[in-house]
Structure 1
Amino acid sequence: MLNKENEESKHFRDTFLPLKVVLKTPSGDIIHEVSTDDKIFVKTGFFLVFNRPRSLLLNNIIINVQFNEVRFTKIPPKLSLGTKQVAENLVYAWSNELNKPDRGDVKFKVQDRVIYANSSILATRSDYFETMFEGEWIECNKQRSSTNDVNENRYKYEIEITDFNYETVLAMLHFLYTDEADFVNYSLDNIWNLFSISDKYFVEDLRHKIKIHIISILNERNAAEMLFKYAWKWPDLKEMIKNFNIEHFVKIRKTRGFKQIVASKSEYPMYNELLEEILLG
């Protein structure tokens, strides 16, 4: 009978990937670069041969690893990566609690429409909303009704959101209720609106999910739009997407998306600065 370690070794036996490794100084200068078409065993790691005098090594070195191939394999149950899964019936139950007028105590007013939610759920899931409900925020009006109408007295808070559309606010609240977000049919505008609202309201789990999704769909056709229209506002994404534009600029500059940006550059507040960074990169 195989023990757990042997089962794991057996599973990863064929997990090999060709790659390129680059050593850089903190300023970006390349010290050493090695590419290999050999199959590197990623489970047990790899050895990088650096046949230079030790005196050339710096205290701070950036190691950049570029895989030429990405391969996904099915992980056996015993080798679960520990991803969080929520039962479908539980997701449905919580989703069904959102936007029910007779169950919430919070009104979100968005684009002349109303979304109903429960303050205890939002406060549990978001430090931002917890602080909002506990404090005297202008953004959150505490409702004080003098009537005896139970329905009127139900809503403790009213929050008016003017900088995001109804669908974006509802999607964020849906995530807070269910821990689920689906970006499959989202346009770039919708994706970045959801990223922006998750950033504003400190919904870190949602922000992280969207960031991963943005990275996964980044390509030469949309890289310019991603940078000039959206990503420049957030340093963590700006740097990564800017570097992608620098690396692939010969092809990106020929795309219709980039040409449209150049033709209407006055619509992009950071156009000159970003283009300079790309050209000098």
Structure 2
Amino acid sequence: MNSFSAKLSGWGWEAFFNKANLPEHVLFGVEFDRAEMGMVSQKWPLPSNPQLPDLIPQDLVKAWEGQLNNPATSDIFQGKWLESDSNGKSEPPQQARERRNSNNNVNNHLARCNHVIEVTDFHYQTFLEMLRFLYTNKVTFKKEEQLNITALDLFRIADKYLIDDLRLQAKNEIFNYLTVNDAAEFLFGTAWKYPELKEHAMKYVVLNFVHIRQTTGFKNILSDLANHPQYAEILNEILAELFPVTPVNTGKPTKEEAS
């Protein structure tokens, strides 16, 4: 083998075969006993642990999502474990621990925690839905505000943590369901705080201002200006769009008309 080593002289194919004996073109081929054309579908199950009573889901998305419901690895938010019951409803930490019989796992997890970050400006259900999106790239919007996972809830948290994909989906959801009845309260109450929301909300309000100014939402704003500090500024912007600046009409004939 030394005679064919790159470190010694005389290495390579020329050392064992005379190039002059080779034809000008050499064709190397492989012969198959059987060849078939077609698509073959193969599903590989996720690794399983025989000590776990529950089967590991075949769907990778469900497997990732399931990690959020694992008290041994889940995060803590506002003093609550980010976990939910089988109906998707969040539970207080004590009930969740009793139902899952996982006190040992929880204690072990707490013992491993080196850092605790207290988040106080978002509901823990909102935070959970954000994490679910990061794990699975899926998000669920609910219209009921008490559930704390409305499109606006998710837009706010995505905007703070710079999650562009989630923010875009939440923004689209907001404007897909915006109506004349809630447009005024949305613009004067929330949208003005976020430039990209304000821009689209302003266009919608300007186009539909004749109807929006007659809604209960707009009248509620007029009766509670103290809690809408941007009312005057936003209204001026709306009026500027509705009535662009034009030359003053003095009532006198122009030079062209006089001549």
Q: How far apart are the structure 2 equivalents of 1:169 and 1:202? A: 14
Residue of 115, 122, 136 corresponding to 1:157: 115
Aligned partner letter, 2:151: I
Q: CA deviation at 1:231?
A: 0.8
Aligned partner letter, 2:215: T
Residue of 65, 68, 71 corresponding to 1:98: 68
Q: Are residue 228 (structure 1) and residue 188 (structure 2) matched?
A: yes
Aligned residue runs from structure 1 range 118-133, under 5 A? none
Q: How far apart are the structure 2 equivalents of 1:230 and 1:151? A: 38
CA separation of 1:159/1:170 partners in 2, compared to 1, >3 Å: closer, same or farther? same
Q: Secondary structure at the match of 2:118?
A: strand
Q: How far apart are the structure 1 equivalents of 2:144 and 2:193? A: 20
Residue of 200, 207, 210 corresponding to 1:250: 210
Aligned CA-pair RMSD: 2.4
Q: Are residue 197 (structure 1) and residue 157 (structure 2) matched?
A: yes
Q: How far apart are the structure 2 equivalents of 1:151 and 1:96? A: 17
Aligned partner letter, 1:274: I
Q: Secondary structure at the match of 1:183?
A: coil
What is residue 115 of structure 1 aligned with on the other side? 82
Does structure 2 conserve the Cα–Cα contact (< 8 Å) formed by 1:109 and 1:160?
yes
Q: Secondary structure at the match of 1:96?
A: helix
Q: Are residue 279 (structure 1) and residue 211 (structure 2) matched?
A: no
Q: CA deviation at 1:157?
A: 2.9
Does structure 2 conserve the Cα–Cα contact (< 8 Å) formed by 1:109 and 1:161?
yes
Q: Secondary structure at the match of 1:209?
A: helix
Q: Deviations over 1:261-280 (max 9, x none)?
A: 11112111211111111122
Q: Secondary structure at the match of 2:72?
A: coil
What is residue 269 of structure 1 aligned with on the other side? 229
Q: CA deviation at 1:186?
A: 4.1
Q: CA deviation at 1:252?
A: 0.3
What is residue 140 of structure 1 aligned with on the other side? none
Q: CA deviation at 1:163?
A: 0.7
Q: How far apart are the structure 1 equivalents of 2:186 and 2:60? A: 35
Q: How far apart are the structure 1 equivalents of 2:63 and 2:178? A: 34
Aligned residue runs from structure 1 range 127-146, under 5 A? none
State the percentage of identical aligned residues.
39
Q: CA deviation at 1:187?
A: 3.5
Q: How far apart are the structure 2 equivalents of 1:114 and 1:253? A: 44
TM-score normalised per structure 1: 0.52
Q: Deviations over 1:31-77 (max 9, x none)?
A: xxxxxxxxxxxxxxxxxxxxxxxxxxxxxxxxxxxxxxxxxxxxxxx
TM-score normalised per structure 2: 0.56
Q: CA deviation at 1:257?
A: 1.0
Q: CA deviation at 1:91?
A: 2.5
Q: How far apart are the structure 1 equivalents of 2:240 and 2:58? A: 50
Q: How far apart are the structure 2 equivalents of 1:98 and 1:280? A: 49
Gaps of 5+ in 2: 1-56, 84-106, 242-259
Q: How far apart are the structure 2 equivalents of 1:99 and 1:202? A: 24
Aligned partner letter, 2:59: N
Q: Secondary structure at the match of 2:76?
A: strand
More strand by share: 1
What is residue 126 of structure 1 aligned with on the other side? none
How many residue pairs align between the two structures? 160
Q: CA deviation at 1:88?
A: 8.9
Larger radius of gyration: 2
Q: How far apart are the structure 1 equivalents of 2:234 and 2:153? A: 21
Q: Deviations over 1:171-214 (max 9, x none)?
A: 11111111111114443973222211110001111001001111
What is residue 44 of structure 2 aligned with on the other side? none
CA separation of 1:235/1:194 partners in 2, compared to 1, >3 Å: closer, same or farther? same
Q: How far apart are the structure 2 equivalents of 1:153 and 1:264? A: 50
Does structure 1 conserve the Cα–Cα contact (< 8 Å) formed by 2:191 and 2:201?
yes
Q: Which runs of 4+ in 1 moved over 4 A?
A: none
